[in-house]
Amino acid sequence: MNKLLIIEDDAALSAALARRLTKQGFECAQCDDASESLLMARQFNPSHILLDMKIADQNGLKLIKPLRLLLPKVKLVLLTGYASIATAVEAIRLGADNYLAKPVDTQTLMNALNAQIEDEDRAQTEFTEQPLSPKRLEWEHIQQVLVNNNGNISETARVLGMHRRTLQRKLLKKPVADNRCA
């Protein structure tokens, strides 16, 4: 039986994911604290991990490398409510196998948990061959600069050469959809 560790600080979402994935054949364990996640991973020894990108005040991206070192063969999927290409690239670079935006349906989740790496590489290549819209490129660039400045809005605005309030307004807007997703 596949074992799934859900590292998510939203107790309701974590419980809902556990119920959904138990019906799909996973034995699920839940952890709501970043500092306890490595201990829980060591004790439970999962074959799969669902990791939230934001766990309370901590960044789930910082857990990817230690989890990967502890469990090199685990299938690790990062979940986020704030999806961007910049964070997706960073997550994959750090060792995540997949990256999904919340909310996510069961079928998409199952596909990510059971996907073969070759299929993911092929899908990613097909996805990146199409050009991004200028508005989407702007959003991605802002997100990357924000990540590089550790989330510091004032420093990011200075680097981008824009007023802090202008940057805050741009960040409040949802990412611009691409025609590729249609």
CA–CA separation, 116 and 53 (whole Å): 22
Are residue 28 and residue 43 in the same domain, yes or no?
yes
pLDDT digits (tens, 9 = 90+) for 30-76: 998 888 888 999 999 999 999 988 887 788 888 999 999 999 999 99
What is the pTM for the complete model shown?
Answer: 0.64
CATH assignment at residue 165: 1.10.10.60
Specify which residues 75 forms β-bridges with. Answer: 48
Residue 179: closest CA among 143, 144, 127: 127
Phi, psi of 69 (to 5 degrees): -65, -40
Boundary (domain end) residue, out of 128, 143, 158: 128
CA 146 from chain centre, in angstroms, equals 16
Are residue 110 and residue 81 in the same domain, yes or no?
yes
Judge whether residue 87 has pLDDT over 50: yes
Residue 78: closest CA among 64, 93, 57, 58: 64
pLDDT digits (tens, 9 = 90+) for 100-144: 888 788 888 888 888 754 444 444 444 444 555 667 777 777 877
Are residue 69 and residue 114 in the same domain, yes or no?
yes
Are residue 161 and residue 72 in the same domain, yes or no?
no
Q: In the structure encoding, which two tokens stand for residue 61, read together?
A: 């991206």
CATH assignment at residue 75: 3.40.50.2300
